[in-house]
Amino acid sequence: MNTSRSGKTRHYGIIGAGPVGCIVAAFLARGGHKVTLCDIVPELVDTARERGIIIEGAENLTQKISHTCTQMEDLMDARPDAVFICVKAQAMPLISSALGDIYKEGISMVSWQNGIDTEYDLVNVLGKEPVMRAVVNWGSGFLAPAHVTMPFHHPPHYIQELDAKSRDAALQIADDLTASGLPTVHTDQITPMVWRKSVMNASMSPVCAATGLTMAQAMNDPITFGVVDGLLKECLAVARGNEILLGWDYYQAAVDYLSHAGNHKPSMLMDIEAGRRTEIDYINGKVVAYGIRAGVATPYNTTIRSLIKGKEFSMESRR
């Protein structure tokens, strides 16, 4: 597999050895690039280095990662060309704050997770120039350390720089990902793309997390579907109020997509079941914030966010 059209290899860092980080690391390493995988849990990175990352599903491969570390300081000291931040959105404030003291100039930082405005946690610390945002169109799940599932892979994926000075770097990253087997397109419309994905997550994920239902169960029950539908329409009103264009046919396309989501648990439900904090603040919480900005009422999103935050508080109080 070619490394890129330029024929050059680069050094990529990955923060987070969960399912998403493992997929990015494995494909870039298979494409011939030097990859350093960083996670605070030694077992996750040790397994990736010693046995290799195993991906099963829509894509199947096993790939060893030659360089790993457990401290972001070590990753920054290695001076990769770019770093993909593949942690869940709720970890972004902590990651961004830590990077403020150790970041090395010239390293591109790619926000590579679900949620709205995750990249601005980085911008608040590093400024716009090194920061990029991506939208990923695959599903992933955790089986064991460095062993992940990829139930679907629907490329292309998208990336955009936040500062025009970094456009060439973003184009190069897209080129390298594409040549490594993750077809990625550079865009200047990343915000609508983030919202197209996030609105569907905001409509389905918290309903499943609050009820314990799979996506198919939530869509097939008329009562829970009514909540999903209310969330979806409210999110669309907020997007339009902020002049974020999702397309005139987005509503029906979203309903059709969610109707075929299958008998799967969204990650927010899996987080609740595992006793972990969720990404609710970066999904429905952001819809509420943008609603306030545009003067659009958000009773559905406000209520569902409160319910999920209540579940999080309940879990924490039992520890």
Mean pLDDT of 16-40: 98
pLDDT, position 1: 42
The fold of 11-188 is Rossmann fold (3.40.50)
pLDDT, position 319: 72
**Which of 98, 115, 99 lies closest to 107, judged by CA?**
99
pLDDT interval class at 14 (50, 70, 90): very high
pLDDT in tens, 201-241: 999 999 999 999 999 999 999 999 999 999 999 999 999 99
Mean pLDDT of 243-266: 94
pLDDT interval class at 261 (50, 70, 90): confident
Find where tokens 């409160």 sit.
Answer: 306
Please tell me which residue, 18 or 263, carries the higher pLDDT value. Answer: 18
Mean pLDDT of 243-270: 94
Residue 175 neighbours by CB under 8 Å, 6+ apart: 4, 5, 6
The token pair at 128 is 């716009």
- DSSP for 63-116 reads E--SEEES-HHHHHHT--SEEEE-S-GGGHHHHHHHHHHH--TT-EEEE-SSSS
Chain-centre distance of CA 262, in angstroms? 20
Find where tokens 């200047």 sit.
Answer: 188
pLDDT, position 263: 87
Domain spanning 192-314: CATH 1.10.1740.10: no
Phi-psi region of 56 (alpha: psi -120 to 50; beta: other; left: phi over 0): beta
The domain segmentation of the chain, as residue ranges, is: 11-188, 192-314
Mean pLDDT of 15-40: 98
The DSSP bridge partners found for residue 131 are: 109
Domain 11-188 shares a fold with domain 192-314: no
pLDDT interval class at 249 (50, 70, 90): very high
DSSP 318: T
Mean pLDDT of the chain: 96
pLDDT, position 2: 44
Is the pLDDT assigned to residue 105 strictly greater than 50? yes
Distance from C-alpha of 197 to C-alpha of 287, rounded to nearest angstrom: 13
In 180-298, alpha helices (H)? 190-211, 215-220, 222-241, 250-259, 267-273, 284-294
